[in-house]
Amino acid sequence: ESSVKPIVIIGTGLGGYNLVKELRKSDQETPVIMITADDGRSYSKPMLSTGFTRNTDADGLMMADAGKMALQFNVSIWTNTEVTAIDTAKQVVTAAGVEVEYGSLVLAWGADVIRPPIGGDATDSVFSCNDLVDYATFRAELKKRKAKKVVIIGGGLIGCEFTNDLLNGDFDVETVDPLGYCLPTLLPEAAGKAVQAALEEKGAKFHFGPLVTEVNKQGDALGVTLNNGSVLDADIVVSAVGVRPRLALAEQSGIAVNRGIVANRLLETSANNVYTLGDCAEVGGNVLFYVAPLMAGARALAKTLAGTPTEVSYPAMPVTIKTPACPVVVAPAPRDAEGEWTIEQSGNDVVAEFRNPQGELIGFALTGKGTAEKVRLQKELPAIMA
């Protein structure tokens, strides 16, 4: 009987699973218990918006089930089990009525989708795809309804990726966003309009400016009401307006939160022996809903948990947006950074550089053939957290 208290990890997304993968490289001994509210299947979440392009459904996107993951990494995985309380003084979490003691606790429980306030009698026809279970449900609904027409709420990263993917699946796609062009919070106008033009060439219809206010039954199908008075026909609606870190349980447990669960560069939260990683975390002031930062975090935290305290560094991490009609690579400037865009454009190929008042490159946006400039510009970018 070992008296070593386990490492408990809440969440089996890319955050949780990459952490155990890294941890087991240097520590095969410490018992690990992973607790997840879902079925614990391992999958690459970014692939959810490529199902039709790659001709794979939700099952096809699964890489391994929980049983296989548990064997591979010698960990216990409790599936379909929600953690409902954390006592940071006693170092105990409560899950399915059972109390589990921890030596270290890692909060890798991700982010929730933001649900826009929508009325009408068919809001149960509005789906979001933020995990494999959601995606399986969405694909089943498309089939059940013999859906042809899809309305997407949101023209940001997820909305544009689904627009492109569903066009590749031969659906009619109309996408609504209150701002003025594609990926409005990430790209300057010229680049966003290039993405828009390429998706329109494939048949997308965009409605920029209005908000979706209602979804109602209309015969066998749906009517999607916009606040400019128009009503779009649809068989199904996808909501893709963004995510926000899950904070409630941390807050209830007295763990400091801000935009995310607050962590220093050791990924330590305000509570002793409690760490956080992935979409729920705010690390050194950065809330980043991307894979690259959580991979960097998993490598650093694995070393820390194995006994060598290691701070995480974030290099420049440009993001590739999966709109094959018009490929996009973007490195957003830091929040609230001052600066100006300089833009070179030829057709849908854009190279846009964002420079601060000192003339230093602090962000960029590339579309079409402009994406070939990624490596050159990435070298010039400062680290996000050196």
Residues near ligand FAD, by CB under 6 A? 10-16, 35-38, 45-46, 48-49, 82-83, 108-110, 129-131, 158, 246, 249, 278-279, 289-292, 294, 319, 322
Nearer CB in complex with ligand FAD: 122/365: 365
Shortest spacing between CB 280 and ligand FAD, in angstroms: 6
Cβ contacts of 144-148, under 8 Å, gap ≥ 24: 145/235, 145/236, 146/235, 147/171, 147/235, 147/236, 148/172, 148/235
Q: Name the residue number minimizing CB distance to ligand FAD.
A: 13
Question: Which two three-digit tokens encode residue 90?
Answer: 């006693």
Nearer CB in complex with ligand FAD: 297/339: 297
Alpha-carbon distance of 179 to 313, in angstroms, equals: 34
Nearer CB in complex with ligand FAD: 67/347: 67
Shortest spacing between CB 321 and ligand FAD, in angstroms: 7
Nearer CB in complex with ligand FAD: 203/290: 290
Q: Which residues have CB under 8 Å from 90's CB, separation 6+? A: 101
Nearer CB in complex with ligand FAD: 35/333: 35
Shortest spacing between CB 19 and ligand FAD, in angstroms: 9
C-alpha separations of 322 from 153, 158, 281 in Å: 18, 9, 24
Nearer CB in complex with ligand FAD: 292/343: 292
DSSP string, 71-106: HHHT-EEE-S--EEEEETTTTEEEETTEEEE-SEEE
Side chain identity at residue 255, one-letter code: I
Nearest CA to 81 out of 163, 173, 139, 9 is that of 9
